Amino acid sequence: MTSIGTGYDLSNSVFSPDGRNFQVEYAVKAVENGGTAIGIRCKDGVVLALEKLVTSKLLKPGANKRIATVDRHMGVVSAGLLPDGRHFVSRARDEAAQWRRFYKGPIPTSALANRMGSYVQAYTLYSSVRPFGVTAIVAGWDSEAELPVDGQVGAGPAVGAGGKKEGGKQGGPFLYMIEPSGLYWGYYGAATGKGRQAAKTELEKLDLGSGELTLEQGVKEAARIIYVAHEDSKDKDLEVEMTWVSALDGPTKGRHEEVPKELREEAERLAKKALEGDDDEEEGAERMQE
Amino acid sequence: MNHFPQAWGRPRDDVYGAYDASYLHDQNGPKAHTQSPIVTGTSVVAMKFKDGVVIATDNLASYGALARFTNVKRLRQFNTRAVLGFGGDVSDMQYLDRLLSSLSIRENYSAYASSADSADATEASAELNAKNLHTYLSKVMYKRRSDFNPLWNAILVAGLDGDGKPFLASADLLGSTFSAPSLATGFGAHLAQPMMRRVVPNEAAVANTTREMAEKAVRDAMKVLFYRDARSMDRYSIAIVSKEGGVEMMEDEQLEGQSWAFADRIRGYGTQVN
Amino acid sequence: MFRNNYDNDSVTFSPQGRIFQVEYAQEAVKQGSVVVGIVSKTHAVLAALKRNAEDLSSYQKKIIPIDAHYGIALAGLASDARVLSNFMKQQSLSSRLTYDRAISLAEITARIGHRAQVNTQHYGKRPYGVGLLIAGVDAKGPHLFEFQPSGVTQEMVACGIGARSQMARTYLERNLDHFEGSSRVELVKHALRALKDSLSQGRELTVDNTSVGVAGISEDFKLYEGQDIASWLDATFENREEGEEGESMEVDT
């Protein structure tokens, strides 16, 4: 941040002499102040989880959901400026709907991430706009089945060529994270917001790359990781919001839905228990030091 | 007399000058939208009973007189409180199906987005009901006919209204709407309606009609339609919407107990031409 | 002229990731007179303190009925509220026309939130300088939403915005547990007491400077002003001192 005050950070779409776009970096700062959001790609689905800080006692408990459904099979959670997150979701919904109008089928998660990456990037190009103050995590389940010719109406030809590849696999769980610069990557485990460092450390312990973790385990890990990430702002009250999406034969039947209350509460109970265990150890260690 | 057929019925060149055919080749000439349906479905029949509505269509899509597609589902469930039945152009039906899909996805955005862990009852009451859906569809149909670009369909919307009471109404390619205890489109309006009206002549009669009575009346109507409607088929779909049971959809029904004895002495009916 | 280099417009982030223009717009809300909203299981109530520019002028409208089932209370730039309320009226009517359905409060709130967000992301626009409380009853029951110039919208059990509204919020937080089971009149009383707590020393709620809006399950949103709220005021502040009561009596005659 040594270049603050040199004037290169006052307008969007301006490079500093060392090739940085400061306004985008500042937008990232806005993200880093938001509640932690994570996503875990499991073998049979994806979980999204969000640390929601309760800023006022007057807020209606359990309302103000922030993980949004973008299409039947896809959800988005974001950290950073709340209204920017809503704008992002609104655009994502439009993209998903437009895809359906054009292709008569659901948008693949990768395509949505690509389109939203382009959209967000466009807001770094002009001095007349500011970048998005959000980092968004997109979770989706892409159908493994061959789609019928016209959605749900009619069965399509019962025989004939479809250009099928023997043994070819398609679809499955997908997870992407899009940053204020428009940059996006696919992830096994993604984290953003205030507690992202702690969350990333925990995600890395899970060995998600091997594709062994089940969705139900993923839900429990997600709740635990949110609680771990919350440790630094422990003085503030917390609500955990979780959604998931699975295959057609899974618990959500291919849809993006809220994790059922019972399961979420169970996951939160386990998370608290796991953390209390940790706390005891830490306290013990502190006492030793004293 | 001019012996060239293409000149017949036209103003005489020697009197009115050469025919000005330029408008026929003008790319910016009058624009024509759909003037007739292509692949079509025939009747939709439906009637109310005291706890809900029964609705049925056969599974045929005809190409003119040809029975072209024999497994086309013309009933569409929207949610637990509404089923639609489509008659008329099948590609327009498919367009409307996608339109309703996008509507349903939009409705689903806010399924849990704003409420606390609320009871399912209030959740369901916020969903679009059959009445909402019919209002929406009638606006779509009217807009399209006013653009001179109609969706060539006759639609019945069956289900429950905002108070959980049985709801049945129609919307058609002209944008007209109508509501009655029993409704039928196309051929059914002539053949099925009188049969169903015997059971539910008015709203008051609906209260005394059981599900079994309604279902039987509709299945009987489907049979008569198969006997007398040359664009119909004996495989059909039937759905029952009620407050308790939600939507029961049966999509591959076979007409039972057919009797063709009456056709024996009718000339020009079926395969017996002379 | 400016406090810093980053507060000229709403398209510039500060190095901390803040947008000062939006924060300044939030200050405009605090300049407006206080409004309060509360919901119970059956009702949603708005109460507002009206200001007049001078003794002989009329009072500024603070509560605007939008549709049969809900209304809004505003704090801040009234003309911005008028733009938003016109938009809300149009959207509400269009929902009734297209679907024969009363628009949900969550949906209408999201729509103005979306409009407000756009004003914070494009050069040449400014954020709205008004905060709103949106209260009413839809298919999912009674609701209260808060809208801020930043585009943040939140569903609340009770809320107060505007000048000195912290005192009202303190009252609301203290009595939070009573609201859910409150009757219609109790809810109005709570709202009036919260409003009263935000008044500066020596000022009183009168039939002239107070507005109340009420909606309930199977009860349309209605705005109450003037003599219609006299009995509520009397019942809420029955042990009011002689001198203070004189003020409202004077107006009555």
C52-78 residue pLDDT tens: 988 889 999 999 999 999 999 999 999
In this structure, is residue C245 part of a structural domain? no
In this structure, is residue C29 part of a structural domain? yes
Taking contacts as CB-CB distances below 8 angstroms, the residues of chain C near A88 are none
b/e string for B161-170 if b means 16 or more Cβ within 10 A? bbeebbbbbb
What is the mean pLDDT of the segment spanning A205-212? 94
Q: Please indicate whether, in this complex, the C-beta atoms of A82 and C151 are within 8 angstroms of each other.
A: yes
Token reading at B43: 């009747």
Residue A135's pLDDT is what? 98
Residue A168's pLDDT is what? 62
C67 versus C238: the higher-pLDDT residue is: C67
CB of A17 less than 8 A from some CB of B: no
All chains having 3 or more CB pairs closer than 8 angstroms to chain C = A, B
Contact B42, B221 (CB under 8 A): no
In this structure, is residue C5 part of a structural domain? no
Q: Please indicate whether, in this complex, the C-beta atoms of A100 and B72 are within 8 angstroms of each other.
A: no
Q: Please indicate whether, in this complex, the C-beta atoms of A28 and C5 are within 8 angstroms of each other.
A: no
Residue B29's pLDDT is what? 63
Residue among A143, A134, A141 nearest A50 (CA): A134
The residue type at A194:
K
pLDDT greater than 60 at residue C249: no
A26-44 residue pLDDT tens: 999 999 988 999 999 999 9
In this structure, is residue C252 part of a structural domain? no
CB of A269 less than 8 A from some CB of B: no
Residue of chain B minimizing CA distance to C105: B114
A176-206 residue pLDDT tens: 999 999 999 999 999 999 999 999 999 999 9
pLDDT greater than 60 at residue C197: yes
Which residues make beta-bridge pairs with A166? none
CATH number of the domain that C25 lies in?
Answer: 3.60.20.10
% of chain C exceeding 90 in pLDDT: 88
Whole-angstrom Cα distance, residue A5 to residue C15?
10
Can you tell me which residue has the tokens 């000339």? B267
Domain boundaries, chain B: 39-253
Contact C131, C37 (CB under 8 A): no
Whole-angstrom Cα distance, residue A257 to residue A73?
9
B267 versus A152: the higher-pLDDT residue is: B267
In this structure, is residue C250 part of a structural domain? no
Q: Which of B34, B40, B42, B122 is catalytic?
A: B34
Is the Cα dihedral C80, C84, C87, C93 positive or negative?
negative
Residue A287's pLDDT is what? 46
Token reading at A160: 């004939």
Mind telling me how many Å the CA of C168 is from chain A's nearest CA?
12
Largest CA distance in chain A: 78
C81-127 residue pLDDT tens: 999 999 999 999 999 999 999 999 999 999 999 999 999 999 999 99
Which residues make beta-bridge pairs with A246? A45
CB of A62 less than 8 A from some CB of B: yes
Q: Please indicate whether, in this complex, the C-beta atoms of C152 and A30 are within 8 angstroms of each other.
A: no
Contact C61, C78 (CB under 8 A): yes
Which domains are delineated in chain A?
22-152+159-284 (3.60.20.10)
Taking contacts as CB-CB distances below 8 angstroms, the residues of chain A near B97 are 151-153
pLDDT greater than 50 at residue A13: yes
Residue A72's pLDDT is what? 95
Confidence grade of residue A284 (pLDDT, cut at 50, 70, 90): very low
Token reading at B225: 């339609």
User: Which one-letter DSSP state was computed for residue A56?
Assistant: -
CA dihedral C13, C15, C21, C25 (to 10 degrees): 120
Mind telling me how many Å the CA of C53 is from chain B's nearest CA?
39
Q: Which strands, in side-by-side order, build the sheet including A74-80?
A: A68-71, A74-80, A134-142, A172-178, A184-186
Confidence grade of residue C251 (pLDDT, cut at 50, 70, 90): very low
Residue among A13, C40, A16 nearest A2 (CA): A16
Residue of chain A minimizing CA distance to B117: A62
% of chain A exceeding 90 in pLDDT: 79
Residue among A125, A17, A5, A180 nearest C15 (CA): A5
Residue A235's pLDDT is what? 87
Choose the mutation target among C70, C94, C108, C140 for the interface with B, i.e. most B CBs under 10 Å: C140
Taking contacts as CB-CB distances below 8 angstroms, the residues of chain A near C114 are 83, 86-87, 90
Query: 3-class DSSP state for residue A217?
Result: helix
* Domain at B39-253: CATH code: 3.60.20.10
Taking contacts as CB-CB distances below 8 angstroms, the residues of chain C near B136 are 98-99
Neighbours of A253 (CB within 10 A): 14
Q: Which of C121, C152, C169 sits opposite A130 (nearest CB)?
A: C121
Whole-angstrom Cα distance, residue B78 to residue B157?
10
pLDDT greater than 70 at residue A163: no
Choose the mutation target among A153, A243, A263 for the interface with B, i.e. most B CBs under 10 Å: A153
Choose the mutation target among B68, B117, B251 for the interface with A, i.e. most A CBs under 10 Å: B117
Q: Please indicate whether, in this complex, the C-beta atoms of A86 and C151 are within 8 angstroms of each other.
A: yes
Contact A49, A226 (CB under 8 A): yes
Phi-psi group of A241: left, alpha or beta (phi > 0 → left; psi -120 to 50 → alpha; rest → beta) = beta
Q: Which of B113, B132, B139 sits opposite C101 (nearest CB)?
A: B132
Whole-angstrom Cα distance, residue A148 to residue A154?
8
What is the mean pLDDT of the segment spanning C135-158? 97
Contact C229, C210 (CB under 8 A): yes
A224-263 residue pLDDT tens: 999 999 998 888 899 999 999 999 999 999 999 999 999 9
Residue among A92, A66, A91 nearest C153 (CA): A66
In this structure, is residue C246 part of a structural domain? no
Per-residue pLDDT of chain B (274 residues; tens, 9 = 90+): 677 777 777 788 888 888 777 777 777 666 788 889 999 999 999 999 999 999 999 999 999 999 999 999 999 999 999 999 999 999 999 999 999 999 999 999 976 544 444 444 455 667 899 999 999 999 999 999 999 999 999 999 999 999 999 999 999 999 999 999 999 999 999 999 999 999 999 999 999 999 999 999 999 999 999 999 999 999 999 999 999 999 999 999 999 999 988 777 777 776 665 5
Taking contacts as CB-CB distances below 8 angstroms, the residues of chain C near B118 are 140-141
Give phi and psi for A191, each to the nearest 5. -145, 145
Which residues span the domain enclosing C62?
20-235
pLDDT greater than 90 at residue C238: no
pLDDT greater than 60 at residue C241: no
Q: Please indicate whether, in this complex, the C-beta atoms of C13 and A86 are within 8 angstroms of each other.
A: no
B70 is catalytic: no
Query: Alpha carbon of A67 to those of A60, A72, C117: distances in Å?
Result: 17, 13, 18
Token reading at B187: 């051929």
All chains having 3 or more CB pairs closer than 8 angstroms to chain B = A, C
Taking contacts as CB-CB distances below 8 angstroms, the residues of chain A near C6 are 10
What domain count does chain C have? Answer: 1
Give phi and psi for B67, each to the nearest 5. -80, 85
Q: How far apart are the first and last CA of chain A?
A: 37
pLDDT greater than 70 at residue A281: no
Q: Which strands, in side-by-side order, build the sheet including B52-58?
A: B182-184, B44-49, B52-58, B235-242, B246-254
Token reading at C159: 């809320």
User: If you count residue pairs, one on B and one on C, with CB atoms under 8 Å apart, how many are there?
Assistant: 39
Residue among C147, C160, C77, C165 nearest C105 (CA): C147
